[in-house]
Amino acid sequence: MRGVVMYAPGDVRVEEREDPRILAPTDAILRLSATCVCGSDLWPWRGIDRVTRPTPMGHEYVGVVEQVGADVRNVKVGDFVVGSFFASDNTCEICLAGYQSRCIHAYPMGREGTQAELLRVPLADGTLVATPGMPDADLIPSFLAASDVLGTGWFAAVAAEVGPGKTVAVVGDGAVGLLGVLAAKQLGAERIIAMSRHADRQALAVEFGATDIVTERGDDGVAKVKELTGGLGAHSVIEAVGTQESIMQAIRATRPGGHVGYVGVLHDVQLPGEELFFSGVHLHGGPAPVRQYLPELIDLIWNRTIDPGKVFDLTLPLDQAAEGYRAMDERRAIKVLLQP
Ligand SMILES: [Zn+2]
């Protein structure tokens, strides 16, 4: 099969990889319908994460089950399925509590490399969720979004305790931040403040339900959120970047007693203890347990209640993956869909 392999920063190639096969009776093999490039794939592309050997890339996926191991019960050959970027058993105590991304048997799908034609999914019964039938082609980008960015934005909103009557601020205008806006709207937020300096992303944020746009960042952004909230700060803040500046922006934009849901992978972040202590702010986040939300998200997409696939503003054949990485790196695209 063909698959994307990164050799070094700025050097991804589409080449022939060995076809995956069933290794355990709980595995399934998928023929992928669509895959995509994630913001986190840009860290090795930019040389922030080291690439020491040729590495298969990608952790987002949707596709059709082509083969199942002897113990697989919940999905069958021919099903169209969505899975999370972490495989999980969905039976351990951590999974049952709703934290499948921290399952005691969690397996990162990035290790398999989903930017490919075929994919092995371990723990298929606990990981994959089938759609009610074969989806129309125009729904596939939305199901693909559910695999990571939508599920992650949704978790961020839940972690930030978004709900009716609440004012929500969203730090970060990448696909996750934008879908955090969509999630906040679905969860009943009264007011949604999107923080973005890019016109195309502001427009999509408004389409997804943002009521206010703040273009300032850092302390100026915090001041603007406070100005919009009677000096108090937002009830709920979604943090979808992961830098020192963005996490402090999120904490300082939250009112005492409010909640921050942080899903941007933190890079070299130091939290000041004394400021945190006196802030009275709840912090909750981490790798999103996307599996928990998949049944609900699949239903919302299948019924065309939400259209998260709009975050894909560039579609390329898998063979042009390198151009997809470049387009996202240069911010020419919000998110790139790759067609195997
Ligand atoms: Zn588990």
* pLDDT recorded at residue 76: 98
- Arithmetic mean of pLDDT over the chain: 97
96 C-alpha to ligand 1 centroid (Å):
7
Q: 85 and 14, same structural domain?
A: yes
The 10s digit of each residue's pLDDT in 37-85 is 999 899 899 998 889 999 999 999 999 999 999 999 999 999 999 999 9
307 C-alpha to ligand 1 centroid (Å):
30
Q: 170 and 276, same structural domain?
A: yes
Q: What angle do CA 148, 93, 74 make, to 5 degrees?
A: 60
Cα separation, 29 vs 250, in Å, equals 40
Q: 107 and 240, same structural domain?
A: no
- What burial letters (b/e) apply to 286-301, b meaning 16+ CB within 10 Å? ebbbbbbbbeebbebb
60 C-alpha to ligand 1 centroid (Å):
20
Q: How many domains does the chain have?
A: 2
Q: 249 and 163, same structural domain?
A: yes
The 10s digit of each residue's pLDDT in 115-149 is 999 999 999 999 999 999 999 999 999 999 999 99
**Coil, strand or helix: which one is 52?**
coil
148 C-alpha to ligand 1 centroid (Å):
18
Q: 13 and 91, same structural domain?
A: yes
The 10s digit of each residue's pLDDT in 200-242 is 999 999 999 999 999 999 999 999 999 999 999 999 999 999 9
133 C-alpha to ligand 1 centroid (Å):
27
173 C-alpha to ligand 1 centroid (Å):
31
CATH code, domain carrying 275: 3.40.50.720
309 C-alpha to ligand 1 centroid (Å):
28
Task: Supply the range of the domain harboring residue 129.
Answer: 2-148+289-339
Query: Confidence band (pLDDT; 50, 70, 90) for 267?
Result: confident
Q: 6 and 144, same structural domain?
A: yes
293 C-alpha to ligand 1 centroid (Å):
15
Q: 295 and 159, same structural domain?
A: no
247 C-alpha to ligand 1 centroid (Å):
29
127 C-alpha to ligand 1 centroid (Å):
10
88 C-alpha to ligand 1 centroid (Å):
5
Specify the DSSP element, H or E, that contains 264: none
Q: 268 and 203, same structural domain?
A: yes
106 C-alpha to ligand 1 centroid (Å):
7
Q: In the chain, what percentage of residues exceed pLDDT 90?
A: 97
121 C-alpha to ligand 1 centroid (Å):
15
**Domain boundary residue, one of 269, 285, 301:** 285
Q: 228 and 112, same structural domain?
A: no
